[in-house]
Amino acid sequence: TQTDTKPIYASVGNMISIECIIDLTLSQCIYRIPEPIRKADQESRARISGH
């Protein structure tokens, strides 16, 4: 994690541990927004703008 950065809240679900949630979150969060959501947002904005 980084100092002076808002935390990301993640919670455990069915059949998954907190350690697994931490690993998944850190592996998917190169930026503040998780990478799959970030890529989808970039693609949708590109299609809207016509690029």
Q: Residue 45 carries which side chain, given as an amino acid letter? A: R
The structural domains of the chain, with segments of one domain joined by +, span 18-49
User: What's residue 1's pLDDT?
Assistant: 62
Please tell me the pTM assigned to this model. Answer: 0.53
User: What's residue 36's pLDDT?
Assistant: 85
Q: In angstroms, what CA-CA distances link 11 with 1, 7, 17, 25, 48?
A: 17, 13, 9, 10, 33
User: What's residue 39's pLDDT?
Assistant: 93
**pLDDT tens profile 1-51:** 678 888 888 888 889 898 998 888 888 778 878 788 899 999 999 999 986
